[in-house]
Amino acid sequence: MSQTALTEPWALTASAADVDATARAATARQIEDWIAAGGCGVALVTCHRAELYGFGAMPELRGVGVLAGEGAVEHLLRVACGLESVIVGEDEVLHQVRKALSNARKNQAVDRRLNRLFETAIAAGRRARSGRTASSGNLAQSAVAWLRGKTIVSGRPIVVAGAGRMGAALAHSVAGAGAEVIVASRDAGKAARLAQMYGGRGVDLPTGAQLTSGAAGVAVALGGQWIELGAMAGLDLPPIADISAPQAVPDSVRRQVNGGFLGIDDLYRQSEALPGAYIEDARGLVAAKTSELVAWLEHLE
């Protein structure tokens, strides 16, 4: 892999536009190993991307795209503004950019140029969203909208697997659709607390798996395989939307429900028409802030 100038930022990227969830997970592990071995950079891992940003010598990662200089700066700003997201302008990716910088600061002394790059991206993301229209949504809303297109959910039970940030977003969207909320999690207590917010029921993952056959739909956001759901293969299962990365629903179940399954990469391909006004404004902001940051970096040389 070619090396950039020591004063230039670089970005190593693997996104859903280029590789599948399994390949992105492999890239994320390579990034984690490099940082654990003493590499200095900021890792940004989301549902749709596994990326590493830094200065100086780049690690040798397999199957990634390489951006350098102005291209790396512009890319991160586009990501933070939601221009590279399935749902343009969605909020989750900005939270993940903030978290990426916060995690890096906890584990290493972050280069001041990287700090400035990420702080600029975060500020641009906030500013872009200040003028966002109501047409912008998020992954959870899109997943539940897909379920509503497959089945009647109002007044019927929907199993939400996962009680983390994305699971909470799914539960909120499910409740907003008028469904009965059943939250399943490895931590049954956490599931119960989340479900209680919507007058629902919280259970552990094995119980949640058993309840899927009687539900109108299933929405999944887990950090690992939902192994217990595999035991339900062969039974009559409802539509399943899995926004986990990598996918948490076992292969045997995905094959069974066939057209009744929505994965994270399917959602990427099925994205709706882009909100033009938001994109035009965000692109202008990205261009301006990219020029400002590149000029600042050149001044340091």
Which are the catalytic amino acids?
47
Residues 220/243, Cβ–Cβ less than 8 Å: yes
Taking the C-alpha atoms of residue 234 and residue 128, their distance in angstroms, rounded to an integer, is 47
Q: How far apart are the first and last CA of the chain?
A: 24
Beta-strand pair 65-68/201-204: unpaired
- Which has the closest alpha carbon to 87: 14, 143, 169? 143
The two three-digit tokens of residue 203, written as one number: 């259970």
The amino acid at 212: T
Cα–Cα separations (whole angstroms), residue 98 to 7, 61, 136: 23, 24, 20
E strands, the chain, in order: 9-15, 42-45, 49-55, 65-68, 157-161, 180-185, 201-204, 217-220, 240-242, 261-262
Taking the C-alpha atoms of residue 11 and residue 55, their distance in angstroms, rounded to an integer, is 9
DSSP-assigned states of every residue in 278-297: HHHHHHHHHHHHHHHHHHHH
Provide the 8-state DSSP code for 138. Answer: -
Residues near 221 by Cβ (< 8 Å), separated by ≥ 6? 140, 160, 161, 162, 164, 166, 167, 169, 170, 242, 243, 244, 248
The two three-digit tokens of residue 234, written as one number: 């062969």
